């Protein structure tokens, strides 16, 4: 059964690689051959505040796949009523009650891309975002676009793409300045050490000392050796 599962996952990844039109991607989460832990990505849909951004998704494949859905969450922070602005958790029935074994990793990623185009504020994952969309939709669009620029790499100006919003350059500059002190490391990864009482600059210096990979600004699990080197450096200074 395990070999059938791995063969299916391998075929699904190959199908994604063969389809350049959709711009859907999926690769092992770490630099190894573990196809049960993937990083997927897709471009923000046109005509939405998310246009021009790239959205990364952490994907974990259960042991009884495809009879149970993959677990997915947004790595890229996104302002959307059906996605937690804090954790990236997703409210989507095709990843839970409406899952079917005929669905695939690719179809799931396409469903997430479609979700960005069709928010459902009356069935929210994030009540704050849903409330903003319902009460002040223009403000929702502005914040969603700002987040797309800051976190997903979308362009900073509205060039007629239909998003209907402009980026607050002052806010953008302030956030980028704040993120600069993380030196390219994932904010959540650094902040896990910061929660133990160490300031950001000191944690970043310890990461550099341990030779920890920036991993493109994405979160990841440190090796036992890296954890030991970082902790020793922090406690020894």
User: How does pLDDT run along the chain (237 residues), one tens digit per residue?
Assistant: 578 899 999 999 999 999 989 999 999 998 678 899 999 999 999 999 999 999 999 999 999 999 999 999 999 999 999 999 988 999 999 999 999 999 999 999 999 999 999 999 999 999 999 999 999 999 999 999 999 999 999 998 654 444 444 556 556 666 666 667 888 888 888 888 888 888 889 999 999 888 888 876 777 888 888 899 999 988 885
Whether residues 47 and 140 share a domain: the answer is yes
Number of domains the chain is built from: 2
> Of the candidates 26, 103, 98, which has an alpha carbon nearest to the alpha carbon of residue 65?
103
> Of the candidates 125, 110, 10, which has an alpha carbon nearest to the alpha carbon of residue 55?
110
Cα 219 to chain center, whole Å? Answer: 9
- Domain span including residue 203: 181-236
Whether residues 28 and 102 share a domain: the answer is yes
Whether residues 138 and 221 share a domain: the answer is no
E strands within 49-183?
Answer: 54-60, 71-74
Whether residues 32 and 141 share a domain: the answer is yes
- Residues acting as catalytic residues: 91
Whether residues 205 and 107 share a domain: the answer is no
Cα radius of gyration (the chain): 19
């Amino acid at each position: 059964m395990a070999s059938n599962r791995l063969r299916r996952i391998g075929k699904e990844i190959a199908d994604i690689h063969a389809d350049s039109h959709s711009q859907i991607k999926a690769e092992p989460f770490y630099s190894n051959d573990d196809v049960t832990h993937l990083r997927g990505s897709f471009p923000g849909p046109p005509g939405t505040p998310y246009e021009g951004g790239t959205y990364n998704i952490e994907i974990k494949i259960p042991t009884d796949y495809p009879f149970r859905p993959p677990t997915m969450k947004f790595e890229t922070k996104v302002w959307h009523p059906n996605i937690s602005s804090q954790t990236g958790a997703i409210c989507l029935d095709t990843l839970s009650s409406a899952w079917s074994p005929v669905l695939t990793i690719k179809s799931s990623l396409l469903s997430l891309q479609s979700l960005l185009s069709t928010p459902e504020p009356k069935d929210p994952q994030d009540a704050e975002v849903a409330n903003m969309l319902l009460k002040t939709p223009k403000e929702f669009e502005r914040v969603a676009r700002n987040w797309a620029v800051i976190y997903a790499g979308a362009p900073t100006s509205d060039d007629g793409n239909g998003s209907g919003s402009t980026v607050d350059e002052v806010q953008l500059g302030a956030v980028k300045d704040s993120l600069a002190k993380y030196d390219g490391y994932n904010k959540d990864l650094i902040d896990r050490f910061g929660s133990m009482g160490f300031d950001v600059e000191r944690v970043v210096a310890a990461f550099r000392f341990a030779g920890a990979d920036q991993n493109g600004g994405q979160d990841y699990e440190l090796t036992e050796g890296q954890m030991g080197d970082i902790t020793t450096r922090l406690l020894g200074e």
